Structures are given as C-alpha cells and as structure tokens.
C-alpha cells in the first residue's frame, strides 16, 4: 500500500526539542548569513536573507513555536523550505539550532498529536514519531509556513 511507504524527514533541534519536516519540502540547509531586519514584522519573522538573488523570509522557529529566544551558535542553520504562494514557489528560511539527520518514517508510525502536553502550539504539529528511541514532533509545513504566517505584519 502506498501509504505504508516510508518517507524521508529532516530532523533538527530547537532548544531541547526534536522536530522533523518532510524532506520533499526542504531544498537545502545553509549556514546563517547576514539577516536584514524588516520593520513592522512580528517577532518570529527575523527578516530576510539573500538566497542567490532572491529574498527569503527568515522564520525564527523557536519564537514561532513559543520555545523562547533563539540561541544562535556555531551549529545554527537555515532550513530552506520551498512553499507555493498563489502559484509562485518561494523560499522560506527556517532558523534551527542544529540539523541532525534525514530519517525514514512510515506514515503509519506517525501518531496524531495529543490534545495537551505538547511544548509547542498543536496546530503546527502533524504528529509524533519515535526516532532513535525518542519522540520527534513532525511539523505541518502548510500551517507553519502559510502565506498568512510568513507575510504577517505587526499591528
């Protein structure tokens, strides 16, 4: 059955928590370049970076997922996610503390997120999976990086 075929996920860390994004939406992982601040942006939008001549919005995932301040260190990186906005594919740069590895997870091995007890807003979590003996929160890129979320302006 096609739904039982494992899919690849990029795992990464934010603080003490481990997350995963399906590799199909991830185009690359980069060191953190200079970020240009954009006025009137919500605090989770750090600004923009130049990605080969294109501006990519930088989403601070720690702030977005209510995990506190980002702690940029030597292992901090940008996970570049390709998103379709009104028929145009645009890059979004997600700031992560560090990237672990690409793992295979079968859809049947992703449990629905619990109603309570998650350290992040549940609307952004597709489910939980066991990887290397620990839980990984599988994020929903459609909700996390929606046009409304990455183009929001502070009011």
CATH of the domain at 129: 2.40.50.180
Question: What is the pLDDT at residue 114?
Answer: 87
Let me know if residue 62 belongs to a domain: yes
**Cα 152 to Cα 21, 45, 64, 73, 74, distances in angstroms:** 22, 9, 12, 27, 29
How many domains is the chain built from?
A: 1
Selection from 32, 9, 12, 40 nearest residue 22 by Cα: 9
Task: Count other C-beta atoms under 10 Å from residue 105's C-beta.
Answer: 20
What is the model's pLDDT at position 85? 82
Q: Phi-psi bin for 53: left (phi > 0), alpha (psi -120 to 50), beta? A: left
Q: Is residue 155 part of a domain?
A: no
Please list the rounded mean pLDDT of every run of 10 residues in the chain (155 residues): 83 95 96 92 92 92 89 86 87 94 96 90 95 94 85 52
Residue 155, pLDDT score: 42
Q: Which domain, by its residues, includes 48? A: 2-150
The dihedral sign for the CA sequence 42, 45, 46, 50:
negative
């Amino acid at each position: 059955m096609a739904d039982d075929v494992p899919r690849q996920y990029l795992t990464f860390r934010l603080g003490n928590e481990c997350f995963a994004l399906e590799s199909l939406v991830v185009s690359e992982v980069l060191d953190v370049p200079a970020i240009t601040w954009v006025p009137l942006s919500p605090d989770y939008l750090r600004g923009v970076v130049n990605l080969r001549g294109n501006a990519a919005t930088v989403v601070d995932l720690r702030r977005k997922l209510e995990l506190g301040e980002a702690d940029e260190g030597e292992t901090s990186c940008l996970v570049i996610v390709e998103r379709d906005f009104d028929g145009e594919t645009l890059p979004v740069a997600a700031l992560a503390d560090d990237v672990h590895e690409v793992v295979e997870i079968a859809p049947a091995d992703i449990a629905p997120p619990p109603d309570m007890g998650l350290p992040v807003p549940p609307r952004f979590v597709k489910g939980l999976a066991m990887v290397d003996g620990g839980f990984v929160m599988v994020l929903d890129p459609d909700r996390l990086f929606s046009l409304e979320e990455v183009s929001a302006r502070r009011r």
